[in-house]
Structure 1
């Protein structure tokens, strides 16, 4: 992607590159896809319980909504999988959970990787990721997405809707039809690469999650969860076409909401209003206090980026928010694109602003090639 036209577009290009760099790379995605397919096939081949029933197996969480972020430090990536049995399956939550556990234990490899959790069964893979498998039964016939999942601590079903949540978030992301970067590329008759097609909300969530990882790296005792950050971003998103404005609106609305709320801010599941993702904040208010400090710091730093402080100060702020390595890689990627455009005589300077632009833009002056000793 070439740097285009206005400063706002160039900043969005840099944010886009950082978000692309921070998401799971193709090697990790391929490994997880292979693991997912293998588990799916093993469960589907079960003659004792699963095979006679109708059910779906599908990924949910950040993989499904395309907001993945590479593990930071010693963390592992969490691949979420749902086993969704159709409506009318006549078994208790305990039975379904135990049958899933029994089937995985029958596999020579999975047996040693298995860890029983409260609502899911975890398979721990060598490297930096694990798979959480959530069994559930469709709750009502008229809603194909709502499922009841076993809660071992409660000894009963609890309602969940991972597929409906993903549909909601994707719909929120699609409030904008064409991003600022897509508009800039189309205006200058340049091809759109694959990662520029990701929506500003998806990119904004990736960057906020990475900032969260940086902010809590020294003490993650009360680290804000990804589902809270993703949900609040989706709820506060207003269809902004740029990544920068998306993050700005989200963090500004968070600050306004904290100031106006009586008691604490509540983040409810958008597809199940009975579920409060932040109920832990009542039992352990330290989580809410940490969230307020974290969001206040992001908001303060983001407001500084809105000022014309120059490249050096902007670089310092972005490095502080997202990490030196991530910023340097994104900046280096930009520089390589500029150099390729300059060598092909496709790079110019917009008259009046001095901002880099395509030579196809109106009012731009081509930049001469930088030859040896200026010859």
Structure 2
């Protein structure tokens, strides 16, 4: 439930509901975890190479930081896994580590049929459900338990990475805000908070920006901006806004301020590993950077329109253009269901002064009649 008379809270509620329907559902999440645990056991049982080592196998990426987005045009999520060996990385070649992971997976009757060799990881494709990217790496030093050396097959040598440290950084940024605008509204009206999954505004902002990215590049994804770049920029520019709308606005405003009318391109470095440039291809292929700026400018313009008192029809059109008809309609239906439920439970009334919806218990709020099955008000 929400303070329906407040436009900003209504909009945040709608954005929250859109983001909620984008993410990994519990059934698929549980299925991913089952497969992940099975792969973990299979690697742990390897007698030829992995078993003698001390190592960890853990998720990273969007699943870990809770910013998953349902891909457009296919029903598939990705799960990123790090195979983190605790050994002297310079005692092994990157080719050896990659080859041993490939060998072990090839020894499994199911995994060998699902394997796809990528530059730094090995992907297992579970068609129609998800794919799992397994990144092999060796801990870089003893004093940083998160920093890894991972093989890069194109370059032919080790590169530095820090997927677990990155997740910690992002979640720390997201958690700088303790109570969101929506949570404050619920507490103010003494209403239950189970309508929200309690995601932070930064996490929701990333989900929405990535979804807009997917729609923008749907016709031609040749120079599509990567999720890691968008997530990192969002985390770096986030200023602790308690509102989803304001978080997105601040992020796109700062992108615009730092990219336009500045001759040099921006660099997006891993915030926990400055050796890792997430935008290195922008140097060799400038069209990636131009495409990034173009889609950020479009998002900026549309977001400015949302700030205006447009009315529900214009606001709906803007949100549909940004995030798609289906996502918007699902969120609207979900919001309407909550309003109906509150009304039928005698939690909702009409403010006699403003004629807007509000929570009962306030002196100016009068109860409204429940709808019958046929849509008529009960006497």
Structure 1 range deviating more: 42-51 or 67-76: 67-76
Unmatched segments (≥5 aa) in structure 1: none
The 2-side partners of 1:268 and 1:257 are apart by 15
Residue by residue over 1:148-173, the C-alpha shift from the partner in whole angstroms, topping out at 9 and shown as x without a partner, is 00112222110000000000000000
The 1-side partners of 2:3 and 2:190 are apart by 13
The 2-side partners of 1:36 and 1:361 are apart by 51
Determine if contact 1:137/1:149 at 8 Å carries over to the other structure.
Answer: yes
Determine if contact 1:7/1:355 at 8 Å carries over to the other structure.
Answer: no
Give me the TM-score of the superposition, normalised by structure 1.
0.96
Structure 1 range deviating more: 332-341 or 91-100: 91-100
Q: Does structure 1 residue 38 correspond to structure 2 residue 38?
A: yes
> Which residue is equivalent to 1:174?
175
> Which residue is equivalent to 1:315?
316
Q: Secondary structure at the match of 2:160?
A: strand
Give me the TM-score of the superposition, normalised by structure 2.
0.95
Determine if contact 2:3/2:185 at 8 Å carries over to the other structure.
Answer: no
Give the direction of change, closer, same or farther, for the CA distance of 1:221–1:353 in structure 2 (3 Å limit).
Answer: farther
Residue by residue over 1:269-323, the C-alpha shift from the partner in whole angstroms, topping out at 9 and shown as x without a partner, is 1111122211111111111111111011111011101000100100010011111
Determine if contact 2:2/2:182 at 8 Å carries over to the other structure.
Answer: no
The 1-side partners of 2:190 and 2:233 are apart by 36
The 2-side partners of 1:225 and 1:76 are apart by 17
> Which residue is equivalent to 1:203?
204
User: Shift of residue 48 of structure 1?
Assistant: 1.2
Write out aligned runs for 1:342-357 (5 A): 342-350=343-351, 352-357=353-358
Count of matched residue pairs? 375
The 1-side partners of 2:355 and 2:290 are apart by 44
Residue by residue over 1:121-161, the C-alpha shift from the partner in whole angstroms, topping out at 9 and shown as x without a partner, is 11111214211110101101110000000112222110000
User: Shift of residue 184 of structure 1?
Assistant: 0.9
The 2-side partners of 1:6 and 1:144 are apart by 46
Write out aligned runs for 1:289-300 (5 A): 289-300=290-301
> Which residue is equivalent to 1:81?
81
Question: CA-atom RMSD, angstroms?
Answer: 1.7
Q: Secondary structure at the match of 1:134?
A: strand
Q: Secondary structure at the match of 2:72?
A: coil
Write out aligned runs for 1:229-308 (5 A): 229-259=230-260, 261-308=262-309
Determine if contact 1:16/1:196 at 8 Å carries over to the other structure.
Answer: no
Structure 1 range deviating more: 213-222 or 362-371: 362-371
User: Shift of residue 29 of structure 1?
Assistant: 1.1
Write out aligned runs for 1:1-375 (5 A): 1-74=1-74, 76-88=76-88, 90-193=91-194, 195-259=196-260, 261-350=262-351, 352-361=353-362, 363-370=364-371, 373-374=376-377, 375=379
Unmatched segments (≥5 aa) in structure 2: none
Structure 1 range deviating more: 192-201 or 181-190: 192-201
Structure 1 range deviating more: 254-263 or 38-47: 254-263
User: Shift of residue 341 of structure 1?
Assistant: 1.0
Determine if contact 1:136/1:149 at 8 Å carries over to the other structure.
Answer: yes
